[in-house]
Copies of this chain bind each other. A is one copy, B any other.
Amino acid sequence: MHRTKVKVIEDALDANTTIANANRDDFDRHSVTVVNLMSAPGAGKTTLLQRVLKDMKGVRVGVVEGDVQGSLDADRLAHLHLPVVQINTDSGFGGECHLDANMVRSALRSLPLEEIDLLIIENVGNLVCPAEFKVGEDIRIMVASVTEGEDKPVKYPLMFRACELVIVNKVDLLPYLDYDLELFNHHLDGVHPDVPRMFVSAKTGEGIEGLRDWFVELASKRTAGAAN
C-alpha cells in the first residue's frame, strides 16, 4: 500500500517536470526570466510587488498570481498596468496548496510573453508544497516575515534550501517583537549557508530600492545573454 502511494506521487512529479520543461522552453524562446515567489500566508508578497514594480527602469514585467480562491491579489496590482493573470487552485478537493507547472502553463495563454522580460509567479502562501513543484522558473525567492519567528528555516527546511534569495520582510516591526535576527540567520545558515538575504519593509520602503535593483539586474542578465 505504501509502495503504491509513493509510485503515484512519483508519477505526478514526473508529469509536473515534463510540463515545467515545456514552460521553460516557452520562456527561453521569448527570453523571459521567471521568478517563483514563495512564502507563508500573509508574509507580504503582494505588498512587496506593489512597491517594487512601480518603477522597474525599463524592464517589462508580467505577474501570475496564485491563490486558492479570489482575485484580491491581482486586483491590488491592477493600478500598475502590467499583464497580470490570476490562477485559482480551488477546483476540486478543497483547493490545491501550491501552483504546479500545468496551472502556470494554462496561464501562459493569457500572457503576452513576447512583451515581457521578467515574469513573477506569486505562489500560494504555504511553506511546504510549493517547493516541491517546479513551474519552469529560473529563480526561487522565499519571503519570510519577522512576525513569523526565527525558527521557520528549521521547521520548513526544504523551502529555505530550494531558493536563491531570502527576503526578510516587515523589519519595521522589529522594535515591537522579540525577534532575534542573529538567531534567524543562524537557523538559515544551518539549512542554506550561502543563500543571499535582503532585509526590507514593504510598508516603509526600507530596502526596496536594493530589491528593485536586484530584480532589474536579474532580468538584464537574460537579455544580455540573449543578445550574444
**What residues of chain A have their CB less than 8 Å away from a CB belonging to chain B?**
5-6, 8-9, 12, 40-42, 67-70, 72-73, 92-97, 124-129, 131-132, 145, 147-149, 151-152, 154-158, 170, 172-173, 176-178, 203
Q: In the bound complex, do residue A42 and residue B148 qualify as a contact, i.e. CB atoms below 8 Å apart?
A: yes
List residues of chain B with CB within 8 A of the CB of A176.
172-173, 176
Say whether, besides A155-B70, A157-B68, A42 and B147 are in contact (CB < 8 Å).
Answer: yes
Q: In the bound complex, do residue A97 and residue B178 qualify as a contact, i.e. CB atoms below 8 Å apart?
A: no
Partner of A40, one of B92, B95, B125: B125
Q: In the bound complex, do residue B6 and residue A8 qualify as a contact, i.e. CB atoms below 8 Å apart?
A: no
List residues of chain B with CB within 8 A of the CB of A154.
69-70, 72
Q: In the bound complex, do residue A69 and residue B125 qualify as a contact, i.e. CB atoms below 8 Å apart?
A: no
Q: Which residue of B lies closest to A133 (CB)?
A: B94
Centre residue among A96, A147, A149, A177 by max chain B CB count within 10 A: A147
Q: In the bound complex, do residue B128 and residue A97 qualify as a contact, i.e. CB atoms below 8 Å apart?
A: yes
Q: In the complex, what distance in Å separates the CA atom of A72 from the CA atom of B127?
A: 17
Q: In the bound complex, do residue B203 and residue A68 qualify as a contact, i.e. CB atoms below 8 Å apart?
A: no
Q: In the complex, what distance in Å separates the CA atom of A97 from the CA atom of B70?
A: 22
Could you tell me the distance in whole angstroms from the C-beta of A96 to the nearest C-beta in chain B? 7
- Can you offer 16 A-B residue contacts whose CB atoms are under 8 A? A5-B12, A8-B8, A42-B149, A67-B155, A68-B156, A72-B155, A94-B129, A95-B158, A97-B97, A97-B126, A97-B128, A125-B155, A126-B126, A129-B129, A173-B173, A176-B176
